[in-house]
Structure 1
């Protein structure tokens, strides 16, 4: 877009043409042009991180992420502007100039990955690399109406990326669709010995990560959104109810508390350790707001760092309980869309508010995808994000695609397996779940039964067990269950471990289908405790006297 300071460097046409000529025409990204946020190395060109004083020294080699895109056939065209040293979420903290939203010259583009987002949203390139420590791969997506994918930390190498907070940094992508992001993310997801924080995608998903995400959590209270954002959020909630099978309210207070820690204590000290040496002496090449923020990390005491680690560990445990019953959390990406003038008047306060719903993701080891959610009444883009546990990236992309109205191709069931509904001790994280896992099962999806089922706490020694019974008078919204995909031979072995009065039968589900599942005979629960009101066995166990 004319007048937008997108680029810190544009490659000569001859270099682009040469790189394109080298690309394998059969590669998955053959010929796709991409931009590179200028805190990511491109061989032969400087990495400035929006600090002109660093423009004299070219990188000796490309970052692993850049190399992998080149190997996949993509072609770089330039380096993009950013909030200096990737410190900011507004896109105004750069000596190269402030970007603005493609929808309004008066409103911020979001940062720190400002140039990369605007390059995609304006049509300059279909793909851009960005980074996300506090939300930099999601906030600019929301402010420019595009898709921002923040993978699980460590899945995409950060070797060759100038660190902001090395333990939290992620390389991310901007595209206009989820479909366009998929091959890029696939190319980028590789273990890298050059990155000490690299983690491979597990060969099997984590136990509680469902292959199909049907249950989505949303905040259970007011979120202090700007009025145009509030209206757009209400519309997004209505839309979600047509996509998710179940929408569950949850308390996001512990998530937000974790997010506030990013610019305190340990993590501000880590930012100073990474880039503090660039900030002395002061000069016109430094953004004053960035310098003021990062220099605070110099004086943080060691005991405060470890106190921060302890508090974060507690918050991880507290927020982790949410994922026992839901697949993903949907949030507005930001609470509002500030004007450039508002940021100029209060650069730290406005920036902090912009990141309210994004800063916790990496601290809590979550993956996320930011997607467009229409426009506000004033015509500005509005975006939401879907957040899920680490390594839930593939089904989270499917959920994002469904939100965007893009095709989602369901993977065929593994041959020799059956779907099995469990309602009690075999639920993920409970005492007997290991039997499903060791038998080769995986969580297919979360569901509720059809109307008419009741749940009882059966009497007897050992592990507390429920009895699921179709009485015909159970609640309309059913009972919470998990549906597991289990090898055929394992079903019989599991049945042998289930004591009377439980047996195998057909369980009707909320979507009108039925699967195999463990049921109790109605005449066997006459003296059992009815726990139907809890809505499911996990909730019943939290009721005094049931466990």
Structure 2
């Protein structure tokens, strides 16, 4: 792997094909930390003290004198650094072929691209050479390689992880990303790596959402989907929508055009000038040392004026305002679902048409950092041709842990093995830093039962069905006259004088319980019900005076059986 060797610095290394240069010896982390016993690698645009940082451009290489801030945090947490990984030069590309050190192959089929620009980092995780790896993500570089190699890629909220000691690609949009074979490990690494760094110009003090998404959630699906003729990818995404529904999600069509327009600004407006600015002094003197098409992309940034950049930034802000309502209000989505990559290309095809096919891989990625969203890429399925297909869950700034929790549930629901091997996923683990919201258990007996007219008052508040059961044999059930929709009244009577009545016990977030109770009309109310197993729960009761003249339907055993009898004409 010529050009990455730190021999000039007197540091011994061993080159390994096109994806990894090992630190010899590995750099051991502090003993006893939360990541002790784990190994990692970092993309070669991230500084490691005593080793060159080349960004896959040998003429650009310099020997770092200190570790990047995120590397130091991981070492302090006990992880051992084993090496640096190949990338698309200057982190400019989504395919993994734009390096003088060679194309990084796909871990499952070497004829196909690995995805980039964090190609080497994804490959060494997928082939189990390390436990986790760091990449960077500006336009999708921490997600596309994850999707194409059947691993997890965390793209955190901008500024959550320090980028000090990272060669910028487009500094205002750059994020350090995390690759792992499980969401659990990626989330554990994120917990260690995050933290405000006042020496990072784009570092931020962030408070992450600490409650999981609702059990019944709404997920956005683009109204226009493009798979570039790849029927297998299209079918795999349709399968992903169904799987997310099975996890409690309701799909909502969202207008994708503004997001696509924001994505286009990254390379098709003056925003590309930031890529040129990142390496301007080197590029102006050594443009001939930069590979194509990276050279042309960087050079295009020279042609814009400061006024052009202001116009592009204003246009981006306007698009951000246009799409903001999808996260707000009663009809808002909780998460956006997109394909991580819409198709998969061979290395030969990519090298024959490097600009267009690379652009296609970013069809669902470029807007995320520009609009300040968080994202997690997780495996979804293995296609009939053996190639992996992945999905990305996207949320607002600060939703990182929520996305990890849902991403872990989704990943485990796939039944896939880990990465490129046959090892099954370990048991899912709680996501540290995420607290389940306080809940209230409430028993419903009539119009709020599953499938009944008022059940939506429960589900729209995030309530989930815990179990169907019966009351203790101490209740009578009445059909209340003149109620719309028809409702029953439940009355407690003397022990042994009543019947067991069918109920459903639902669990509702405590934050929404008050608004639910406020909807209950007289003569109904909430009291304490005794269940058949001896436990007690909050549930519907009725004022005794309202039952004068009401029909006793206790012998039906429950409201559902009574309604069925009416339909049968009994």
Q: TM-score range by the shorter chain?
A: 0.7 to 0.9
1:143 & 1:495 partners in 2: Cα distance? 45
Post-superposition CA distance 1:63-102 (Å, at most 9, x none): 1110110011011111100000000001111111111101
Conserved? CA contact 1:205–1:391, under 8 Å: no
The aligned counterpart of 1:521 is none
Conserved? CA contact 2:148–2:388, under 8 Å: yes
Conserved? CA contact 1:452–1:472, under 8 Å: no
The aligned counterpart of 1:364 is 371
Q: 1:83 aligns with which of 76, 79, 88?
A: 88
The aligned counterpart of 2:75 is 70
Q: 2:224 aligns with which of 211, 221, 233?
A: 221
Change (3 A) 1:500 1:373: closer
1:502 & 1:160 partners in 2: Cα distance? 65
1:302 & 1:332 partners in 2: Cα distance? 35
Note if 1:277 corresponds to 2:281.
yes
The aligned counterpart of 1:407 is 428
Larger Rg: 2
Note if 1:182 corresponds to 2:182.
no
The aligned counterpart of 1:302 is 306
Q: 2:343 aligns with which of 306, 311, 336?
A: 336
Once the 2 structures are TM-superposed, how far is the Cα of residue 455 of structure 1 from its aligned partner? 10
Q: Within 5 Å, which residues of 2 pair with 1:12-411?
A: 12-13=24-25, 16=26, 19-20=27-28, 23-24=30-31, 26-55=32-61, 57-202=62-207, 210=213, 214-225=217-228, 226-282=230-286, 285-324=289-328, 325-405=332-412, 407=428, 409=430
Change (3 A) 1:398 1:96: same
Once the 2 structures are TM-superposed, how far is the Cα of residue 377 of structure 1 from its aligned partner? 1.7
1:272 & 1:113 partners in 2: Cα distance? 19
Describe the SS at the equivalent of 2:374. Answer: strand
Post-superposition CA distance 1:443-478 (Å, at most 9, x none): xxxxx996413999xxxxxxxxxxxx97359xxxxx
1:515 & 1:223 partners in 2: Cα distance? 49
Conserved? CA contact 1:134–1:362, under 8 Å: yes
Conserved? CA contact 1:398–1:408, under 8 Å: no
The aligned counterpart of 1:471 is 485
Once the 2 structures are TM-superposed, how far is the Cα of residue 38 of structure 1 from its aligned partner? 0.4
Change (3 A) 1:515 1:66: farther
The aligned counterpart of 1:10 is 22
Let me know the Cα RMSD of the aligned residues. Answer: 3.3
Change (3 A) 1:470 1:291: farther
Q: Within 5 Å, which residues of 2 pair with 1:495-514?
A: none
Aligned length: 447
2:67 & 2:303 partners in 1: Cα distance? 34
The aligned counterpart of 1:523 is none
Describe the SS at the equivalent of 2:53. Answer: coil
Describe the SS at the equivalent of 2:55. Answer: coil
Once the 2 structures are TM-superposed, how far is the Cα of residue 329 of structure 1 from its aligned partner? 0.8
1:309 & 1:65 partners in 2: Cα distance? 29
1:253 & 1:516 partners in 2: Cα distance? 47
Conserved? CA contact 1:453–1:472, under 8 Å: no
Once the 2 structures are TM-superposed, how far is the Cα of residue 400 of structure 1 from its aligned partner? 0.2
Change (3 A) 1:283 1:296: closer
Change (3 A) 1:131 1:212: farther
Conserved? CA contact 2:215–2:248, under 8 Å: no
Once the 2 structures are TM-superposed, how far is the Cα of residue 281 of structure 1 from its aligned partner? 4.1
Once the 2 structures are TM-superposed, how far is the Cα of residue 323 of structure 1 from its aligned partner? 1.3
Describe the SS at the equivalent of 1:152. Answer: coil
1:502 & 1:89 partners in 2: Cα distance? 62
- Unmatched tracts of structure 1, length 5 or more: 421-447, 457-468, 474-482, 507-513, 518-547
With normalisation by structure 1, the TM-score equals: 0.75
